[in-house]
Chain A
Amino acid sequence: MDISVILQAFQGALQPLMLLFIFTGVFFGIIAGCIPGFTFTMAIILAFPFTFGMEPVQGLALMIGIYIGGLSGGLISGTLLGIPGTPSSVVTTFDGYPMTKKGESARALGIGILSSVFGTFIGAIILFLLGPLVAKVSLLFGPWEIFSLIVFALTLVAGLSGASLSKGLLAGSLGLLIGTIGISPSGQVRFDFGIDQLASGFSPIPVLIGLFALSTLFINIEEIKQNMTKDGQDISILKQKVKIPYFQVIKDVYKEKWNVIRSSVIGCFVGCLPAAGAESANFISYDQAKKFSKEKNKYGEGHPGGIVASESSNNAVAGGAFIPTITLGIPGDVAQAVMIGALILHGITPGPGLFNTQPILVNSIYVAIFISGIAVLVLQTLLLPLLTRITLIPKTFLVPSILFLSTVGAFALNNRLFDIWIVFFFGIVGFLLYKINVPLSPVILGLILGPTLEAEMTRAFQMNSEISVFFTRPISLLFLILAVISFVVTIIQVRKQNKDKEQLNV
């Protein structure tokens, strides 16, 4: 390993401007995380147009900051109000909110923040150690392996992201189909339906803004109404002064040190899987922490271990999610997909080879994650009083403002008004799909990976017209077998879930 490259990355990251970007990112990430209904994914999408004018490393640093801040920020409203700020902090409420009820809100917040920071660090270390290894292996991949890998990734996402496998697969295929609009690998225009602007295909970003940001905003409008009717929740706690008992918190987290490490490792590996992000990582870690704990029955009633498990695992996801992104070009989640989009815009294509062509950039990612961890600690402890109030900003202001900002963002990408119409169209599509429980992340993954899938397939058959090669090359075969396994496992799981539900109903 080349130490000088790492040092160069550190040198680059420690410049005032870079630090400013990272801290700004973390700050906005935390804010996005603490407002229930808004996620860091949306914040990263909104930040996207601002990265146009930056150096690739700077833009990436800003997005990494938002990512890490957002993964942690959900704990504030989760602990104080029992309403998770992001899906990834659902589990934090299990023990955080009971602690608040017992009058230990400051201690709970402190444990959450510190665990987040450790989770981030451990995730970054695993990325640092594993990333180069995976990258080395991925250099051996021919078109057959990449094709099989993408097939595996798509089946995995389809299975993990929803209750119904058929809908997940359908969503993924629809994404693939949208990806075929535009110019084919052989240079022919496909599916333009007579509309000139469609001839160059969809850029993933406006589709992504529409599917995710817009549909989430529409859903938020529904909730505004619901909140009006069910007013009267006790929010006085948000206005109280919180003072974190630092010594106590350090003692608590030290007592749970194995829990921190276990949960972070789980979080990191769950993060590696496409689309299985922080939302699943914290459930698995909580479950494991409870199994290993001596005080099992106290979990769920305000046990520090529960917060530690949840918060360290959801932040460790960041490190893990970067592994497939930078080594294989397969985004670990939607936030990663946006970051890939930002890199591609700067002419950098993530995937095998990135470690050789952009060693400093790759190392800057580790460094930026690390610094973001420190920023989370500093900003969240110092600004806690301010942050607890931010959850009070009325959504009636936020929803239209973010609608407006996403419009600007979509336009700024290519200076095309047509892109705003794409956002609008996919906003409605996303909203309708959400309503009938079709998961959205497979659509995005299909759209992003579709063109690669087709190109690699064509390349494979150009090199060798036999289809059997896909099954005789060991790594390719392995991915195909994994795809089948993930398919079968999902079917079994869905069956089991349905049975459990039926039993509950009886």
Chain B
Amino acid sequence: MANRVFSIIVLAICSLFFIESMKFSEKSGVQTFAPSFFPRVILVFIAILSVFIVIKSFKQVDKEKLGLLIKHYVKEHYQVLAVIGIFFVYIGLISIIGFLWSSILFLFITFSLLRPIKRKALITNLTVAIVLPIGIQFVFQQLLNIYLP
């Protein structure tokens, strides 16, 4: 089932790329190939493979339903999704409040999320969350001459 969904998504992406390739499909004068030639060869190949996987997926009998699997996963591993979400916010924050502050926040929150919450642990979390970004910023700006936002 997962394979089927995957192939259908891939096919959708393929068609999106194919439509986009119309924009530069013209071959001009001396060119050996139109710029769209090579991508289209790949797209056809991908489409054939995806269809093959879809057909194969009908032969296999699924023991569990995809929806149930996802539900189970979310329940069991909500932390993974939480970290992905926090990471997303973090990248967004970098351009607003700067690299240093957003990194400290990001590290502290994810440490606290992943470790059992205890008072002592929170203090270590905070220390590491502050020391690491400052250290990295120092190394990058002073030694490598790379300025972080």
Contacts and interface: CB of A to CB of B under 8 A. Distances in A.
Does B bind A?
A: yes
Interface of A: 49-50, 52-53, 166-167, 169-170, 173-174, 176-177, 180, 184-186, 188-191, 193, 218, 221-222, 224-225, 394-397, 399-401, 403-405, 407-408, 411-412, 415, 417, 420-421, 424, 427-428, 435-436, 438, 454, 457-458, 461-462, 465
Nearest to B115: A396
Given A420-B91, A457-B33, 15 more contacts: A166-B49, A177-B17, A180-B42, A395-B114, A401-B128, A401-B132, A404-B106, A404-B107, A404-B133, A404-B136, A407-B103, A412-B148, A417-B149, A427-B87, A458-B32
Interface of B is mostly: helix
B146 interface: yes
A399 B106 CA distance: 12
B35 A401 contact: no
Nearest to A169: B49
Nearest to B146: A412
A457 B114 contact: no
Contacts of A52: 144, 146
A420 B94 CA distance: 10
Given A169-B49, A401-B107, A424 B39 contact: no
* Top 3 A-B residue pairs of the complex, sorted by shortest distance between their CB atoms: A400-B110, A184-B35, A396-B114
Interface in B59-100: 76-77, 79-80, 83-84, 87-88, 90-91, 94-95
A166 B84 contact: no
A412 B149 CA distance: 10
B134 to A, nearest CB: 12
12 contacts: A52-B144, A177-B46, A188-B35, A222-B77, A397-B111, A399-B110, A399-B114, A404-B133, A405-B136, A417-B95, A424-B88, A457-B33
B2 interface: yes
B83 A221 contact: yes
Interface in B6-59: 6, 10, 17, 20-21, 24, 28, 31-33, 35-36, 38-39, 42-43, 45-46, 49-50, 52-53, 56
A170 B50 contact: yes
A218 B87 CA distance: 11
Nearest to A459: B32
Contacts, number: 144
Given A53-B143, A461-B32, A191 B132 contact: no
Contacts of B114: 221, 224, 395-396, 399-400
Interface of B: 2-3, 6, 10, 17, 20-21, 24, 28, 31-33, 35-36, 38-39, 42-43, 45-46, 49-50, 52-53, 56, 76-77, 79-80, 83-84, 87-88, 90-91, 94-95, 103, 106-107, 110-111, 114-115, 128, 132-133, 136, 140, 143-149
B46 A173 contact: yes
A222 B128 CA distance: 22
Contacts of B144: 49-50, 52-53, 412
B103 A404 contact: yes
A449 to B, nearest CB: 12
Contacts of A407: 90-91, 103
A436 B91 CA distance: 27
Contact of A170 (B10, B87, B145): B10
Given A401-B128, A407-B91, A424-B88, A436 B3 contact: yes
Given A224-B79, A225-B77, A424-B88, A170 B53 contact: yes
A435 to B, nearest CB: 8
A421 B91 contact: yes
Nearest to A398: B114
Contacts of B111: 396-397, 400
A198 B133 CA distance: 29
A195 to B, nearest CB: 12
Given A176-B42, A408-B140, A462 B32 contact: yes
Given A166-B52, A167-B53, A174-B46, A408 B20 contact: no
